[in-house]
């Protein structure tokens, strides 16, 4: 039976008077790999940040494994949950960004161990074993004790992804994780994501790599001006888009 991991209903988000998400409805089943595409400013990053409660939102609900994220409704009032509760919920998702945000004074293994020790309360040997397992999985077994400054951009991004995955999230969020990389380093990071997809990790990824979205995702969501404009099977969507907007977007993207 398919299990719904993420269920978003009527999500609206404004910055001042500017409505950036205008009623997003979307659900994600366990094991799905969903690529979010769309032009700059369409709200892709904001959507991921709402799921991870890095942004507040004004209305709608986000449920993760059935649990409402960020807010509780008491009668007619909607209150933000306590910071402790939000921190616990945030740990249900893992996030990797364009900028890797590794601690420069810690080795690759120590970067991964930090959350395991501080948040998951593991002992250092337990955390090290997990860090080593994941560094091995992302092809960095020989770089465990290297500092970020001694690693290439692609290697640093793989450490950042390993760090997020090591926390055993229910859902992984990726926001343009290859955009800051030199072209020759993009492939190694996409390969790691492909392997996680094959392992059954549930993932939502914002990407400009149309070929990757086409080949790897089970579903594609095309966002335009704060709404989901079109979604479906990439094999169908990219070949015969239903909306003029998507057709236009694909013309200007790297997919052709
Ligand atoms: N902190 C903020 N304050 C005000 N407006 C913001 C803020 N962050 C984003 N926005 C606006 O929200 C809209 C959506 O931005 P968002 O970053 O989600 O777009 P995006 O689809 O991720 O774009 P890109 O492809 O360039 O990363 C944009 O119009 C942006 O200017
Ligand atoms: Mg963005």
Q: Residue 104 is part of a domain; what is its CATH number?
A: 3.40.50.300
Mean pLDDT of 186-198: 92
The pLDDT of residue 255: 62
Domain count along the chain: 1
pLDDT tens digit sequence for 69-88: 999 988 889 999 999 999 99
Residue with CA nearest ligand 1 atom 9: 46
Among 41, 48, 207, 210, residue to substitute to test ligand 1 (most atoms within 8 Å of Cβ): 41
112-147: b (≥16 Cβ within 10 Å) or e: bbebbeeeeebeeeebbebbbebbebbbbeebbebb
| Domain span including residue 142 | 4-252
End-to-end Cα separation, the chain, in angstroms: 36
Q: Quick check: 212 pLDDT over 80?
A: yes
- The fraction of the chain above a pLDDT of 90, given in percent, is 91
d(CA 210, CA 97): 18
10 lines ligand 1 (CB under 6 A): no
- pLDDT band, very low/low/confident/very high, at 130 (cuts 50, 70, 90): very high
pLDDT score at 74: 85
Q: What integer pLDDT is reported at residue 41 of this predicted model? A: 96
Distinct helix (H) and strand (E) counts, the chain: 9, 12
Helix (H) or strand (E) holding 192: helix 183-198
What CA–CA distance (Å, rounded) separates 212 from 181? 15
**Chain-centre distance for alpha carbon 183:** 21
Give the mean pLDDT of 24-31: 96
Does the pLDDT of residue 256 top 70, yes or no? no
């Amino acid at each position: 039976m398919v299990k719904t991991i993420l269920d978003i209903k009527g999500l609206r988000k404004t910055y001042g008077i500017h409505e950036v998400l205008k009623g997003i409805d979307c659900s994600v089943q366990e094991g799905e790999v969903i690529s979010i595409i769309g032009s700059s400013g369409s709200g892709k990053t904001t959507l991921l940040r709402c799921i991870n409660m890095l942004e507040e939102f004004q209305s709608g609900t986000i449920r993760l494994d059935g649990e409402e994220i960020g807010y509780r409704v008491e009668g007619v009032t909607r209150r933000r949950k306590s910071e402790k509760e939000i921190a616990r919920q945030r740990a249900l998702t893992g996030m990797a960004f364009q900028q890797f945000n590794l601690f420069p004074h810690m080795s690759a293994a120590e970067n991964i161990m930090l959350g395991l020790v501080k948040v998951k309360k593991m002992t250092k040997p337990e955390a090290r074993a997990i860090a080593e397992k994941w560094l091995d999985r992302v092809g960095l077994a020989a770089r465990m004790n290297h500092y970020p400054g001694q690693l290439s951009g692609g290697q640093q991004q793989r450490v950042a992804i390993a760090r997020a995955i090591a926390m055993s999230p229910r859902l992984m969020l990726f926001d343009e994780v290859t955009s800051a990389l030199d072209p020759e380093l993009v492939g190694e990071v996409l390969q790691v994501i492909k392997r996680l997809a094959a392992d059954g990790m549930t993932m939502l990824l914002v990407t400009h790599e149309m070929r990757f979205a086409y080949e790897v995702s089970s579903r594609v969501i095309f966002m335009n001006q704060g709404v989901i404009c079109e979604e479906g099977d990439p094999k169908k969507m990219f070949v015969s888009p239903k909306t003029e907007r998507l057709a236009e977007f694909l013309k200007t993207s790297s997919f052709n």
